[in-house]
Amino acid sequence: MKVALITGITGQDGSYLAEHLLDLGYEVHGIVRRVALEDPTHRLQRLSGFIDRLHLHAASLERFPSLFSVVSEVQPDELYHLAAQSFVSYSFDDAFSTFRTNIDGTHFVLECAKQLVPKCRIYFAGSSEMFGHANEVPQTEKTRFYPRSPYGISKVTGFDLSRNYREAYKMFVASGILFNHESPRRGFEFVTRKITSYVARIKRGELKELPLGNLDAKRDWGFAGDYVQAMHLMLQQDCPEDFVIATGETNSVREFCQLAFEFAGLNYEDYVVTDPQFYRPAEVHLLLGDATKSKEILGWEPTIKFEELVEMMVMHDLDLLAS
């Protein structure tokens, strides 16, 4: 039985990936913060349907010895490094802690693996935010990085560290350059879930308006359940490589709003207001991925279209409030 270790298992992607690997017959271990074990009802909520089948270990991305001891105990065949301060907006408020978590944390994970399990296959969670102010559309594995946020900078550094461990120490480290992916398990601070959760509360009469920032930003939005499958496929290849994972379709925040309100029988123009506090000091205006390499080498393709994704999230949030 293969052994997988996931950092960030409590997050959106970690929870889908854990489920996927359990289905494939893996022994699945996850690193969680100690506070999560102390407050499982809230902090382990995304794992609630299958938590009995997982092995959870307390460690912190900021403390090398804690990671060292978990990797040493688990001896993983595959290590999925997903943990990160992942909210772009917050990275402008506290760049220092974002760098500590995302850069030092990634460095610690790679170094633990090098010292303890050099043959382990490692996935690094790269991001389309690394393209930032992209010089071409669509973006591929060859597109230049021009990050526009501390978060984006931290991911470029994590990506470079991963490539350097691959080249310098001949380790199997693959990075996914994943475009935005969403689901009913998405955190409420991200724009898609913010919109669908507000739609549900507006529909029930609990709220009267939805304050947003830049409605014209465009993102290539896919379904998280599809994207974690690509992470696993990357670690099953003969050689470690980097892959863009995207749908090849881009939509604006405004279009997401329009559709989400329509699914609830409402007109977004009656409720959406713009609020300067939700604008960013530097914005990424347009992301659109070309996942041709992933299709050809991994055999990966997205299964959920934009409209289905929006409907899935709106219906989930309506049901959540009704229950």
Give just the sign of the alpha carbon dihedral 269, 275, 278, 279. positive
Per the structure block, which two tokens stand in for 172?
């199997």
181 binds ligand NAP (CB under 6 A): yes
**What is the identity of the amino acid at 3?**
V
- For the chain, the residue count is 323
| DSSP string computed for 124-178 | EEEEGGGTSS-SSSSB-TTSPP---SHHHHHHHHHHHHHHHHHHHH--EEEEEEE
Nearer to ligand GDD by C-beta: 82 or 116?
Answer: 82
Nearer to ligand NAP by C-beta: 59 or 272?
Answer: 59
Task: List phi, psi (to 5°) of 47.
Answer: -100, 5
The piece of 58-66, 204-212, 234-242, 287-295 that touches ligand NAP (CB under 6 A) is: 58-66
The piece of 68-76, 210-218, 235-243, 294-302 that touches ligand GDD (CB under 6 A) is: 210-218
Query: Is-catalytic flag, 146?
Result: no
Query: Binding ligand NAP by CB under 6 A: which of 3, 4, 5, 12?
Result: 12
The piece of 11-19, 137-145, 246-254, 306-314 that touches ligand NAP (CB under 6 A) is: 11-19
Least gap, CB of 265 to ligand NAP (angstroms): 28
Interacting positions 182-211 with ligand NAP (CB under 6 A) = 187
The Cα–Cα gap between 145 and 177 comes to: 11
Least gap, CB of 285 to ligand GDD (angstroms): 8
Catalytic residue chosen out of the listed positions 15, 60, 127, 128: 127
214 binds ligand GDD (CB under 6 A): yes
How many CA atoms, within 13 angstroms, populate the side-chain half-sphere of residue 90? Answer: 11
One character per residue 74-103, x = contact with ligand NAP (rule: CB under 6 A): --------xxxxx--------------x--
Query: Is-catalytic flag, 129?
Result: yes
Catalytic residue chosen out of the listed positions 78, 80, 128, 129: 129
Contacts of 47 (CB under 8 A, 6+ apart): 9, 10, 15, 18, 30, 54
The Cα–Cα gap between 18 and 47 comes to: 8
Nearer to ligand GDD by C-beta: 51 or 207?
Answer: 207
Per the structure block, which two tokens stand in for 35?
């506070």
Task: List phi, psi (to 5°) of 273.
Answer: -125, 150
One character per residue 74-93, x = contact with ligand GDD (rule: CB under 6 A): ------------x-xx----
The piece of 111-119, 183-191, 261-269, 289-297 that touches ligand GDD (CB under 6 A) is: 183-191
Tell me, letter by letter, the H, E, C secondary structure of 223-250: EHHHHHHHHHHHCCCCCCCCEEECCCCC
- Strand-pair category, 251-252 with 181-182: unpaired
217 binds ligand GDD (CB under 6 A): yes
Which residues lie across from 223 on neighbouring strands? Answer: 182
Residues found near ligand GDD in the complex (CB under 6 A):
86, 88-89, 127-129, 179-180, 189-192, 194, 212-214, 217, 219, 253, 278, 280, 283-284, 287
Annotated catalytic residues are 127, 129, 151
Residues found near ligand NAP in the complex (CB under 6 A):
8, 10-14, 33, 36, 43, 60-62, 82-86, 101, 125, 127, 178, 180-181, 187
